[in-house]
Amino acid sequence: MNNIHRNIKLNPTYEQHRAIDFLDLTITCKHKELEVDIYRKPTCTDTTINFLSNHPIEQKMAAFRFHITRMHFLPLDPDKKRKEWKTIQHIAKNNNFPHRLLQKLNHQIQNKVNRTHNEKKHKIWTKFTYHNPKIRIITNFFKNTNVGIAFKATATLQQLLIPTTQIQTSTHQKSGIYKITCKTCHKSYVGQTNPNLNLRFREHVRYIKNNDPRSAYALHILDCRHEYGNITDTMTLLKQINRPSLLLPYEQMYIQIFHRNNELIPEQRLNEHNSMFELL
């Protein structure tokens, strides 16, 4: 088989003292039967989810549930079973797992093995995100139903390695009241936008490139032949607003502030006076 491909390297395992290790079992050939014992690799550690970590209790108990279930369901002789139980207790102690919970879990699984005529109910499973123990206020409603609850932890390695800058929304992806500054004279235009700032900035640039004085900012750049710069250097979100009814009042407030501080482009002041005159 190793001759099929140069990257294939299979090493055979031979019996030693009439025993061979296969998966998680040690199988020993006796005179009239096969005897099994639990096998752990020499590189195996006793590390599992620490009981003090912020994980659902079901996930903390999963490894011990597996070990104890295997111990009871395999046909181990009493000495081997006692040895395995001591190993499980040692693993639990090293991971701060309370002994009383381990005893309780062992008792539950042992009773389950002894109930040979137990009817298994068909369960419907659903998943909840485990942020903190308060989630059990909701999941306890399903305790006496055929709905099984599985928890998804938030403290995973993948989530901890994601840089915080990737999960934060960019300022230019938000909407509300903004100012866009002329790169030459450093005067600003104050406006409102219901779409995000990226879309609004592209509109201003399109007006400038098409020689379209539809906005006071485009009119200022075209008339004064000033530079408009890029969105990072020139466009700032003054206030994020998600309710359209609040856009106009806040826009007028910021226009007055910039006008009093002499930071508003003249074209916007002119447009504001013309709009007021038309209304009158």
State the helix-helix crossing angle for 197-209 and 216-224, rounded to 10 degrees: 40
Residue 77 domain-assigned? yes
Q: Which two tokens stand for residue 213?
A: 């004085």
Residue whose token pair is 């989630």: 135
Q: What is the pLDDT of residue 159?
A: 65
User: pLDDT tier at 277 (50, 70, 90 boundaries)?
Assistant: very low
Residues 97, 194 within the same domain: no
How many contiguous H segments (helices) and E segments (strands) does the chain have?
11, 8
Closest CA to 28 of 15, 41, 40, 18: 18
Residues 68, 16 within the same domain: no
Residue 144 domain-assigned? yes
Q: 175 CB contacts (<8 Å, ≥6 apart)?
A: 193, 194, 195, 196, 197, 240, 241, 242
The answer to whether 109 touches 69, Cβ cutoff 8 Å, is yes
Q: Which helix or strand (DSSP H or E) is residue 217 part of? A: helix 216-224
Residue 166 domain-assigned? no
Q: Which two tokens stand for residue 97?
A: 């797992």
CA 70, distance to chain mean position in Å, is: 33
Residues 218, 271 within the same domain: yes
Residues 96, 139 within the same domain: no
Query: Chain-wide mean pLDDT for the chain?
Result: 84
Higher pLDDT, 67 or 125: 67
Residues 259, 197 within the same domain: yes
CATH number for the domain spanning 187: value is: 3.40.1440.10
Residues 181, 264 within the same domain: yes
Total structural domains within the chain = 4
Residues 188, 240 within the same domain: yes
The answer to whether 111 touches 118, Cβ cutoff 8 Å, is no
Residues 178, 275 within the same domain: yes
Residues 26, 65 within the same domain: no
Residue 3 domain-assigned? no
Residue 1 domain-assigned? no
Residues 104, 73 within the same domain: yes
Query: Is pLDDT at 91 greater than 70 in this prediction?
Result: yes
Q: Which two tokens stand for residue 263?
A: 């930071």
Distance (Å, rounded) from C-alpha 190 to C-alpha 263? 10
Domain holding 263, by residue range, is 173-279
Mean pLDDT computed over 119-140: 78
Residues 266, 236 within the same domain: yes
Q: Which helix or strand (DSSP H or E) is residue 180 part of? A: strand 176-181
Residue 79 domain-assigned? yes
Q: What is the pLDDT of residues 210-248, one digit of tens each?
A: 998 888 899 999 999 998 889 988 999 999 988 888 889
Q: What is the pLDDT of residues 137-151, one digit of tens each?
A: 888 888 888 888 888
Residue 267 domain-assigned? yes
Sign of CA dihedral 183, 184, 186, 189: negative
Query: Is pLDDT at 177 greater than 90 in this prediction?
Result: yes
Residue 136 domain-assigned? yes
Residues 25, 108 within the same domain: no
